[in-house]
Every structure is written in structure tokens, then in C-alpha cells.
């Protein structure tokens, strides 16, 4: 409708109706029978509040959403449609690799296409807003939500953030896209010790340089919504942080969309000790400019009273309600509350062959080859392969945040290999993802009977181990598919032990005594500690949770249909004790190389290496690409100029390569000391067999600026080091200067 009509609508709404637009509830409140006493009592809100609710969480599907829309609009005095929002984090029905794997593609254009596809599917099923991308920078894989993030680096996450937001929103005008809700604002990934929901505390320099850029990239790409974090930043909960939401997000960055809390995070303001009670929480969240209260009773029960006793201006309610109505109007919901969804459209759009092909292509580029002794891989396809392990024929390859996906749609590794090598493949599970019933019970949400099914009795376990050893003895190569329990990854999945489960390592050790070649496939939602399995394995592939076509992608790499091009978007530690461990660290006054001290008195551990097992940006391909002739066109640049960087790549192999050229820099001297390296640019280039290519980067001087402890961006003249290479460790270096 036209703006004037929308203004008239707002003016005609009662205070109760306006408050209703600021409430979001989950699906159980809107069963078709409308019998949701349990949740109502538990949340402590009225049926009236439910009837007037303005948005609904995680209810999707053409039929269901149309029925819900009809029911709820009939209860609205002005027939205002509800806004439907869902967790579409890395796919809707066609599931892509987890975002940590999407980051490992270093291919923003491809990821934009993936998110456009996810937006098409979610919209076809009636959804309007997707709670993604999650772009929280994370330096600590003890945190389960590393699964959801593109990784540890502000620049890489920013490129992915922009691509994901753009992809989601590309087809919005045709009701075939999603409003992108970037999250979690801000710096949730900085939770101390990787402990879920813990506090994040950092300097403004660290915040603006290492955590904020991906959110700003989402705002610059036009994301329609921002979700606040469950955690505190420097002692203030993101959900009610007026400085963060008003001064930074709205005034500095110019964000003019909707601000939604995370799940119950308004209610949790009292738990944090930031609000005295729900009334105080409502006041503080509204003062900070939070528009929608997700799944908490606070706005529903407290806003009316605050307005009526004069503590809260109705103007704030009107402003928040206006933003909600504006978004509904922008989506055309007043004219078409169904957003064009239909069961026919759903069937036509979801999980098509083309979309399967796309997620396979993304997974092909997300897999990271970590080890390949004596170029064992790719296999020729003529070998007799013994496929063993809990993930060998496992459908659950989509990870815990693939909320609307179905593991049954997945292609397993076994299915994919059978298509290619048929009878030369033998299979035995060998062992389970986990045999630790206590640990599984401790996760707190797996039904007891399911745990009994997940963990066989000792006799069965022994029998399947024997079976695995037997087929291994009769094979040429063992492909051992292991990894992390999907239940242990994602939200509330913090853990202190990042090793593979003992039973998986034990069977590997037995297999290693057979003198066969071993390829380990690691399925996980985070970097695991693999330092205790590198010896036993000839090759190691990091598969992440690779998505609906994960099995095909793994077979593509194993059998050489493609040369793996994935590069780690997060550091793999040698041991958990090193965490948080990331490449963009400071030098310290006693670095291990170049300090005036040696031996004990340098920055090191006395009981473990300080270096990672595999560094940020690392990954192998079949055949090698060589870098030479790294030059900068100018030895020095003014602050208004750009530096031109040139490097020549040679692909001396017969493989079609996709090589990610990574460019890092170091500011030698700065008033706030700078990391030894910081990613500033990258290009994923195609290299035909036996070819070479000159690659050029134009880097504006402002890219070499840093943030000071007032949160101000500064560029100081002086010498800089520029590094170019295939990862953050193996680089060539050239110096340049920024002059006044």
C-alpha cells in the first residue's frame, strides 16, 4: 500500500495492536487447533498477545503458512499479516556445506549463488525473513557455533557476508528471495574460552578491526534486519546496548532496518544483571531501539504499562511498529499475505536436480585436502577400497542448523562411491560416532531410547570392528570416514576436548597395523585436533558437514573428478591448550623468531608447539601452483593512492586448478601494534593445465589502516610488509611505504 495508507493504518491502531507487532513467537503458539496452553503458561503471556503477535518463528511450508496467515489475520483488528521468519542458515531444503565450509571455498560469487538458491526455496515455502548470515568472527573452536561462521578472519567473513546478504535479497522483488537478518550483533564469536553464551570483552581497536567488519559489510549490502547477540560486549548485553545499536549501527553505519532480539534475550537482561526486572528490561531494550522481542514475555507484558504511566513515550512504540509495518509493506504482504507461495511452487522450486548440482559444486570447493603423503590421492578408481567408519554410510551430513533440511535427502559417501566403483567397494561401519553414553546423556536433549540405539552393546561393537579389519585386509586402500557427533556441534556445543572420539582413534590404530594406505575423511562442525592421527594416515580430507550432496563431493575429490581447492577459513590447532589460536596475532616483545632472547625466554609453550597443525588459508590441491615475480609497482604510496601488486602463478600440472591467491600485510610500526599478518585481499583464479597467469591487485592505501583504541580508523605513514601466497604461512614478501 502507499505510504499514506500505511501511516493512516498506524494512526488507527490501538496501543495493544502496535505492541503486538513487536512480539515474535514460535510455532507452538499457532497450532491449527490453537491449543497451546503449555507454551502460554510457560511464557506467561495472554491469548490476546498471541492473537496480536506480529511475527512468527520457524513455521514454513505453503499450506501451513497460508493457514496460519488466514487464522492470525482474522484475529487482527486491521487484518495485518504476520511476518514469517526462519533459520535458513546454509540452505532451506537443498542444504549447502556449513558456513565454515562455505568460507573455505574463498569463492564469494559462488556463495552468493548458493544463498540466492536458498532464498528461492525459503520464499517458495512461504518464508519472508532468514536469520542469516551468521558472520561472527571466531578464534576458538571450543565454541560450537564456529559451525555457523565463515571463520576467523574479518576480511574473509566480510566478503562472505556481503555475498550471502546479496544472494538472499536478490530476488526479493519477485517474492523469490529473503530479507536477510545478519547476526549476532555484536562479537558473539568473542565469547571467552569458547564457552557458550559467555562474555566477550575487548578493546575498541580489537572490536572494530577484527569483529565488526562483517556486520558492517552486511549493512552496506543492504541487509533488512539485524539480530542482537545473546552475549554481553564489554559488560553490556548486545540486546540493550544503546551505544552499539544507535550510535554505531544506526548513526555511524546508517542502518535503517529492523532490529530483532535473539531468542529470549530481552528476558535474559535480568539474568545478565543488566535489568532489575521485566519492566526494566522492556524499558532498556526499547531505549536502545530494539524493535522485536523474540520469544519472551517482556514486551507483551510490560510495554503497555510503561506507556500508560509515562515511563515510555508512545513515539518509541510507533517508530518500532512503523518499521515492522514498512517491511511487511515492502514485501507486498498487505496485497498478498501468502507471498506468492503455493504447494505447486514449492514442489517446483525445492531440491531440484540443478540445486543438487549447485550444492555439490559448493561442497567440491569447500572440502580441504589437509594431507596427501606421496600423492596417494586421487585414487585411480581401480583400487579395491574398504570404506569404513561411522560417517561412511551416514545420511546426517547437514549439521545441526540445517533446520528445514532433511538428512534423508543426503547422498552418503558409500552411495556416491558405489555409483563410481561398484563391486570394488567394500563397506563396514567399524564403530560408532560415539560410544560414550554418559557424554550423550550429558548433551541433555537426546531421548534415552535414541541413545540406546546409538550405542550398540559390546558384542555388536566388537563384531563390527572385526568386520572392518577383515574387509580392510582384503583391500588396497582404506577410506575411513569419521568425525564429530552432529549433536555436539552448533549452538550450546562448547567442548574442551577437540580430539576425535577415542573409539574412532582406537579403530584407526588397529587399521594402521595392516600396512594399507589410509585416507581419513573428517566430518565436523569445527576444527578438530587431528595431531594424533596424522601419522597413521596417508591422506586427510576435512569435509565439514558437507550438505545434501556431501557424499558426491567427497567422491569427486577421492577419485580425482576435481582437484581440491578448499582453503581453511579457521586455524586447526595442534592441541586445545593453544586456543584461542589464530593467524592474525601480535608479535609480542619476544617472538619465537627474531627476538633478542632464545630458548625458554620467548613467547612459546614448554609442553606443546605454539604453531597450529594447519594454518589459516591452508589446503592442498592435486599438482602444485608455484608463485614467482612478486612485485609492487610503487615502492611507496600516498594515503590517497593505491598500491599495485603483481605476482605470476605457474600451474605445471595437468590439473585444472582453482588457486586462491592470498594477500596479507603487516604494518611495521604503529601507535597500536598490529598483527604479524592481516588478510587484505584474495582472488580465486582458474589455471588451465600447464599454464601460467599474472595476477594483479589494486589496493587503496586505506586498506592498510587500523583502528585505534577510540574505535577510530587511522592510517599512519611508515614501512609495511606485503605477503602473497597460498596460505597465511607459506608466503613471499615485499616491502612498501606509505608516505604522508
At closest approach, how far in Å is the CB of 86 from ligand GLC? 8
At closest approach, how far in Å is the CB of 491 from ligand GLC? 6
Among 371, 212, 366, 220, CA closest to 684: 366
Among 209, 197, 200, 202, CA closest to 158: 209
**Residues in region 610-649 near ligand GLC by CB under 6 A:** none
The Cα–Cα gap between 718 and 667 comes to 8
Say whether residue 28 binds ligand GLC (CB under 6 A): no
Cα 734 off chain centre by: 33
At closest approach, how far in Å is the CB of 183 from ligand GLC? 5
Among 301, 239, 246, 229, CA closest to 266: 239
Q: Are strands 129-130 and 83-86 parallel, antiparallel or unpaired?
A: parallel
On whether the CB atoms of residues 571 and 583 are closer than 8 A, the answer is yes
Residues in the chain: 740
Q: CA–CA distance from 87 to each of 82, 84, 346, 510, 591 (Å)?
A: 17, 11, 18, 42, 43
Compare residues 131 and 583 and give the one whose CB is closer to ligand GLC.
131
Compare residues 85 and 362 and give the one whose CB is closer to ligand GLC.
85
Catalytic residue among 87, 140, 153, 262: 262
Compare residues 26 and 693 and give the one whose CB is closer to ligand GLC.
26
At closest approach, how far in Å is the CB of 107 from ligand GLC? 24
Among 341, 339, 332, CA closest to 6: 332
At closest approach, how far in Å is the CB of 60 from ligand GLC? 13
Angle formed by the axes of helices 278-288 and 298-308, to 10°?
A: 80
**Residues in region 166-205 near ligand GLC by CB under 6 A:** 183
Task: Give the x-and-dash track for 37-66 against ligand GLC (CB under 6 A).
Answer: --------------------x---------
Say whether residue 432 binds ligand GLC (CB under 6 A): no
**Residues in region 676-735 near ligand GLC by CB under 6 A:** none
Compare residues 262 and 484 and give the one whose CB is closer to ligand GLC.
262
Angle formed by the axes of helices 278-288 and 314-330, to 10°?
A: 60
The Cα–Cα gap between 538 and 379 comes to 12
309 is catalytic: no
At closest approach, how far in Å is the CB of 266 from ligand GLC? 13
Question: Is 716 exposed, middle or buried (CB count within 10 Å of its CB: 0-12, 13-18, 19+)?
Answer: middle
Say whether residue 268 binds ligand GLC (CB under 6 A): no
Beta bridge mates, 385: 425, 477
Say whether residue 143 binds ligand GLC (CB under 6 A): no
**Residues in region 214-253 near ligand GLC by CB under 6 A:** 230
- Residue 272, CB half-sphere, CA atoms under 13 Å: how many? 29
Question: Is 713 exposed, middle or buried (CB count within 10 Å of its CB: 0-12, 13-18, 19+)?
Answer: exposed
| The one among 262, 278, 280, 409 contacting ligand GLC by CB under 6 A | 262
Compare residues 183 and 677 and give the one whose CB is closer to ligand GLC.
183
On whether the CB atoms of residues 95 and 404 are closer than 8 A, the answer is no
Compare residues 57 and 351 and give the one whose CB is closer to ligand GLC.
57
Say whether residue 131 binds ligand GLC (CB under 6 A): yes
Beta bridge mates, 686: 658
On whether the CB atoms of residues 103 and 570 are closer than 8 A, the answer is yes
Question: How many chain residues bind ligand GLC (CB under 6 A)?
Answer: 8
Beta bridge mates, 679: 664
Say whether residue 263 binds ligand GLC (CB under 6 A): yes
**Residues in region 476-515 near ligand GLC by CB under 6 A:** 491
Compare residues 28 and 113 and give the one whose CB is closer to ligand GLC.
28
At closest approach, how far in Å is the CB of 115 from ligand GLC? 16
Compare residues 24 and 158 and give the one whose CB is closer to ligand GLC.
24
Say whether residue 87 binds ligand GLC (CB under 6 A): yes
At closest approach, how far in Å is the CB of 484 from ligand GLC? 20
Give me the active site residues, please: 262
- Give the interface with ligand GLC as residue ranges (CB under 6 A): 57, 87, 131, 183, 230, 262-263, 491
Amino acid at each position: 500500500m502507499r505510504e499514506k495508507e500505511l501511516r493512516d493504518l498506524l494512526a488507527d491502531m490501538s496501543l495493544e495492536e502496535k505492541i503486538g507487532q513487536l512480539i515474535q513467537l514460535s510455532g507452538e503458539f499457532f497450532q491449527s487447533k490453537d491449543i497451546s496452553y503449555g507454551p502460554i503458561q510457560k511464557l506467561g503471556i495472554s491469548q490476546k498477545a498471541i492473537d496480536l503477535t506480529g511475527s512468527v518463528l520457524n513455521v514454513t511450508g505453503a499450506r501451513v503458512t497460508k493457514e496460519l496467515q488466514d487464522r492470525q489475520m482474522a484475529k487482527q483488528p486491521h487484518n495485518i499479516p504476520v511476518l514469517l521468519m526462519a533459520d535458513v542458515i546454509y540452505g532451506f531444503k537443498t542444504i549447502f556445506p556449513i558456513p565454515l565450509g562455505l568460507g573455505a571455498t574463498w569463492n564469494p560469487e559462488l556463495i552468493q549463488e548458493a544463498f540466492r538458491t536458498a532464498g528461492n526455496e525459503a520464499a517458495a515455502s512461504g518464508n519472508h525473513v532468514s536469520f542469516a548470515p551468521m558472520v561472527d568472527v571466531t578464534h576458538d573452536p571450543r565454541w560450537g557455533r564456529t559451525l555457523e561462521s565463515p571463520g576467523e578472519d574479518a576480511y574473509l567473513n566480510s566478503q562472505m557476508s556481503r555475498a550471502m546478504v546479496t544472494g538472499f535479497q536478490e530476488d526479493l522483488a519477485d517474492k523469490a528471495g529473503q530479507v536477510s537478518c545478519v547476526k549476532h550483533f555484536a562479537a558473539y564469536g568473542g565469547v571467552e574460552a569458547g564457552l557458550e553464551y559467555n562474555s566477550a570483552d575487548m578493546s575498541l581497536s580489537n572490536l572494530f578491526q577484527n569483529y565488526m567488519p562483517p556486520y558492517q559489510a552486511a549493512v552496506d549490502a543492504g541487509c533488512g534486519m539485524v539480530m542482537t547477540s545473546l552475549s554481553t560486549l564489554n559488560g553490556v548485553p548486545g540486546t540493550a546496548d544503546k551505544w552499539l545499536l544507535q550510535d554505531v549501527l544506526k548513526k555511524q553505519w546508517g542502518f535503517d532496518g529492523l532490529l530483532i532480539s535473539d531468542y529470549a534475550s530481552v528476558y535474559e537482561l535480568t539474568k545478565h544483571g543488566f535489568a532489575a526486572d521485566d519492566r526494566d528490561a522492556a524499558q532498556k531494550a526499547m531505549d536502545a531501539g530494539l524493535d522485536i522481542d523474540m520469544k519472551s514475555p517482556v514486551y507483551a507484558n510490560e510495554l503497555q504499562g510503561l506507556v500508560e504511566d509515562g515511563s515510555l513515550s508512545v513515539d518509541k512504540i510507533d517508530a518500532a511498529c512503523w518499521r515492522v509495518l514498512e517491511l511487511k509493506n515492502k514485501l507486498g504482504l498487505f496485497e498478498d499475505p501468502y507471498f506468492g507461495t503455493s504447494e505447486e511452487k514449492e514442489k517446483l522450486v525445492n531440491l531440484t536436480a540443478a540445486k543438487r548440482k549447485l550444492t555439490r559444486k559448493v561442497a567440491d570447493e569447500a572440502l580441504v585436502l589437509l594431507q596427501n603423503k606421496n600423492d596417494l590421492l586421487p585414487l585411480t578408481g581401480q583400487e579395491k577400497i574398504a570404506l569404513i567408519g561411522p560417517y561412511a554410510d551416514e545420511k546426517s551430513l547437514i549439521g545441526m542448523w540445517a533446520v528445514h533440511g532433511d538428512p534423508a535427502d543426503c547422498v552418503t559417501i558409500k552411495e556416491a562411491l558405489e555409483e563410481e566403483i561398484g563391486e570394488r567397494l567394500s563397506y563396514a561401519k567399524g564403530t560408532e560416532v560415539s560410544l560414550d553414553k554418559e557424554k550423550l546423556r550429558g548433551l541433555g536433549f537426546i531421548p534415552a531410547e535414541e541413545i540406546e540405539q546409538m550405542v550398540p552393546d559390546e558384542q555388536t561393537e566388537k563384531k563390527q570392528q572385526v568386520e572392518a579389519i577383515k574387509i580392510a585386509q582384503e583391500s588396497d586402500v582404506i577410506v575411513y570416514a569419521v568425525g564429530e557427533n552432529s549433536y555436539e556441534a552448533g549452538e550450546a556445543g562448547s567442548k574442551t576436548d577437540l580430539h576425535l572420539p577415542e573409539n574412532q582413534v582406537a579403530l584407526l590404530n588397529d587399521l594402521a597395523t595392516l600396512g594399507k594406505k589410509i585416507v581419513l575423511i573428517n566430518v565436523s562442525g569445527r576444527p578438530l585436533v587431528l595431531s594424533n592421527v596424522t601419522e597413521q594416515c596417508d591422506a586427510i580430507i576435512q569435509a565439514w558437514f558437507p550438505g545434501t550432496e556431501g557424499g558426491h563431493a567427497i567422491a569427486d575429490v577421492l577419485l580425482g573428478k576435481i582437484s581440491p581447492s578448499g582453503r581453511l577459513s579457521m586455524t586447526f590447532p595442534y592441541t586445545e591448550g593453544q586456543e584461542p589460536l589464530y593467524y592474525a596475532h601480535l608479535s609480542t616483545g619476544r617472538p619465537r623468531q627474531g627476538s633478542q632472547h632464545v630458548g625458554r625466554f620467548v613467547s612459546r609453550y614448554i609442553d606443546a608447539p605454539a604453531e597450529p597443525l594447519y594454518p589459516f588459508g591452508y589446503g592442498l590441491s592435486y599438482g602444485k601452483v608455484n608463485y614467482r615475480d612478486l612485485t609492487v609497482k610503487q615502492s611507496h604510496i600516498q594515503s590517497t593512492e593505491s598500491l599495485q601488486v603483481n605476482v605470476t602463478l605457474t600451474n605445471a600440472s595437468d590439473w585444472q586448478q582453482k588457486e586462491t591467491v592470498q594477500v596479507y600485510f603487516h604494518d611495521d610500526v604503529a601507535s597500536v601494534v598490529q598483527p604479524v599478518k592481516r588478510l587484505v585481499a584474495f582472488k580465486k583464479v582458474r589455471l588451465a593445465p600447464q599454464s601460467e597467469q599474472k595476477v594483479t591487485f589494486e589496493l587503496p592505501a586505506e586498506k592498510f589502516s587500523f583502528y585505534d583504541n577510540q574505535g577510530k580508523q587511522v592510517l599512519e605513514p611508515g614501512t609495511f610488509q606485503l605477503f602473497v601466497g597460498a596460505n597465511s604461512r607459506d608466503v613471499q614478501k615485499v616491502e612498501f611505504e606509505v608516505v604522508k
